[in-house]
């Protein structure tokens, strides 16, 4: 029985690789109120939290402190703050990658220019 299961496991139906996630709304300082509402809803916040914070722009939401969010939404304020912090970190990572790519491209052009002058 064990050998049969092992054989079936090797040749059995393979699991489908997880597909790309549906595009989730992204939050940034440039987000308008509709994008903030969509982001809050996607993250699973209550209707009260979405209603209270959905009137803010991304820039306004990014400036709020944990205590301010708790004052607006006592049950979910800390979680909103945590999710906003994650978004902020993701945006900072993207900016750093973009800066690194720009520096690398500049260096590549410089090296290519040096090689052309040597030839």
Residue 94 or residue 87, greater confidence: 87
Residue 35 token pair = 């994008």
At 24-83, the pLDDT tens digits run 788 999 999 999 999 999 999 999 999 999 999 999 999 999 999 999 999 999 999 999
Rounded CA gap, 103 and 90, in Å?
A: 20
Reduce the DSSP state of residue 114 to 3 states and report it. helix
CATH code for residues 25-97? 1.10.150.50
């Amino acid at each position: 029985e064990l050998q049969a299961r092992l054989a079936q496991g090797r040749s059995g139906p393979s699991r489908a690789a997880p597909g790309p996630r549906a595009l989730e709304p992204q939050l940034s300082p440039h987000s308008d109120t509709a994008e903030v509402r969509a982001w809050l809803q996607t993250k699973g916040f209550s209707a009260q939290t979405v209603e209270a914070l959905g009137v803010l722009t991304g820039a306004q939401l990014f400036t709020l402190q944990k205590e301010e969010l708790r004052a607006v939404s006592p049950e979910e304020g800390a979680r909103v703050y945590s999710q906003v912090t994650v978004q902020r970190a993701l945006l900072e990572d993207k900016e750093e990658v973009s800066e690194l790519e720009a520096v690398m491209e500049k260096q590549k052009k410089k090296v290519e220019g040096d090689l052309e002058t040597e030839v």
